[in-house]
């Protein structure tokens, strides 16, 4: 399950491997964009990842993902942005 950051205020919910991989692939392959990791904190099955996303136009936005892992796989990811 992924809850991404758009549309505001709650984001869209994506369920299942195919939907989640499709969303991340679309984000990760956008030309001229990148994510910079700012901090990662792991506690058991949970992780908090602070990041900064740079868009193709040079603007950026900061956010955080709250992740849950089970059996070595990400099973839940909820994204939030400053805004």
Q: How confident is the model at residue 14 (pLDDT cuts 50, 70, 90)?
A: very high
Q: What is the pTM of this model?
A: 0.82
- Containing structural domain, residue 22: 2-81
Task: Please report, for the domain that includes residue 29, its CATH number.
Answer: 3.10.450.50
**Residue 68 · residue 75 · CB < 8 Å:** yes
Residue 7 CA neighbour count, 13 Å, CB half? 0
Query: Based on the structure, what is the number of domains in the chain?
Result: 1
Decide if pLDDT at 64 tops 80: yes
Q: Using a pLDDT cut of 70, give the percent of the chain over it.
A: 100
**Residue 51 · residue 35 · CB < 8 Å:** yes
How far, in Å, CA of 25 to CA of 70, rounded? 21
Q: What is the per-residue pLDDT for 53?
A: 94
**Residue 79 · residue 11 · CB < 8 Å:** yes
């Amino acid at each position: 399950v992924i809850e991404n950051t758009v549309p505001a205020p709650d984001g869209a919910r994506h369920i299942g491997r195919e939907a989640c991989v499709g969303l991340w692939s679309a984000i990760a392959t956008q030309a001229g964009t990148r994510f910079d990791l700012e901090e990662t904190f792991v506690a058991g099955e949970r992780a908090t990842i602070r990041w900064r996303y740079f868009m193709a136009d040079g603007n950026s936005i900061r956010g955080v993902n709250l992740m849950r892992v089970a059996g070595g796989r990400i099973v839940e990811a909820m994204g939030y942005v400053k805004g």
